[in-house]
Chains A and B, each alone.
Chain A
């Protein structure tokens, strides 16, 4: 990638201090997102994908805190910002879309007012201009009869329409980055496709980088440019989506692909789904060395004692002793 990345996450650590010791739901996660690029962050429950997103926006609830690493957005370090500056960055430079629209939309405010207020808070414009932008935002996300809908309340919209409003709200402040956490999981599949296509179109058109957190591999395949696969708070591999999904380097990624059923008519329905034995360890029971090694069909002796160092293979970065690094891990980064 010739342009410098929009977002750089380097060795991010998130900690939860407990009476019995410090837990690390995110333990050395690294990836980048370019302008206009959609990075998928995929993993099963407990892998740390949502907490990573929360850490980037600075929405970790005490006592959860960033315990190490760096988060840099367009040259600005986010992990060291105080709360007032973080608040400014959140609306102006980072937009957020959550799974449940009711966490983003105030049920007691009309939709047009929420959009206009957000625009006013982050852009140097007049009230009239803000109202115009609110209308345009609704049109851009495909709300029919947008002029009338400006004065509607959130509960007057259907689920899919509400999520479109949330997208409008996330983009109206003209952010550089959008973090979308399971934005379509609660929606019917017919609406899901529309919402994802909308998100993709709007963000690539405007050069907005997107971090799309999901557990759904099909969504990853169809919507993202690159993907980071998370396991037990660590990255297994990160690289171009097609490459990672079809020629996975990490055994966990391969296992995940093999155990995912597919609706495609190409797939032979009788072929047995692969199974990964056991389940992802909880934070209090993380094994030493590589977190995946107890379940890994290709585990070696080293995997049980040493955590893998990252290695670069073409456009992909992988953390696995099957692919040891040729050089010290510090410099290169896809």
Chain B
């Protein structure tokens, strides 16, 4: 009755049950419909079971709502073993009566059918499970196994219809998983016909050998929801959806300044350096000194006693250490003093989402105050420009939320800054490095293309790289010809 009242008052008001899965509650505007059934459709290995179990376990851990899992494919032991790798002690939750797992095994070969029957046994088991722990959340994974286990499809169908009504009457928030169907149906057995409140599709695609998991809310009766396909991650911390705009632009802007590590560059940046928690882009053609600028930034942060994280996508750790030592920056001692961590991986070793996951995890664990990604160019080889931008947006949102100052390098090809312009809007400051001919001599030049919120130099400066690091020299004078 309460529901109809709400319906009258406002067409969009639906009470939500937060899943606790990070990001998912953002795209569903608060979670799954409370007291209703949500269908999760996906192919084999798309993460349906994990989705359901996380819904239950996070329900217990975050919201104190006990949950029942009725599983048709995996035993309680198998589920406990799978979730142990994600750091969940399922058996403990079962002992504490916060979780109830009932493994239902229906084997067609062992069952003879004769005459009329119903699935009351299933209802009794579910009812008993719900009552024994006072469950608020229910997972049925994967109930369509009944279609292969029992011969009489019309009985199964009418009993499933009754079951979904029964779940609603018992006011539990239920998640039902189902195999993805062909083009005609979302699910193989058309379960979406019975579950009308919320339908979510999980998808696992491999494009050019790189796997990406995606989630999409197909239907959500009475609620607004994000309609995009959102990438999601399954890693050692469980499931997380990374909505492109989830974190948004609500982070606090710091007015504190951080030195770039290059005195002359700080001068160019209003004499103080970058803003704390800002994102800095350093572009330049090959060999213009992008990594050296990045290393100077890291070196000065470590000198101040801050922690830095260096994600290297081009060079190995020892290569970086050797090269920077030759510029008078002994980075190795910062590693020894645990102020610097270098993480060197090949961009092609995994998909963008995995890169993002690994980076987020490393950042959460190490808690650096500055982060370098050198270079982001190589990530473009893993995804499309659009997906790289989406990934960077999410990364930058995370960094800003943690008040981390980030420096990204990007290789530009002979002055063309196409990729740079696509991502530059995400950046607060943009530094361009070039090697040009001035009056017949090849020289390194640097200028600040943009620096949000500060008065910065708009002059082109010469700079040198030597065994004493980077030095900004005098400005290029008006009468000199750059070209």
A and B from one complex? no
Using a CB–CB distance below 8 Å, which chain A residues touch chain B?
none
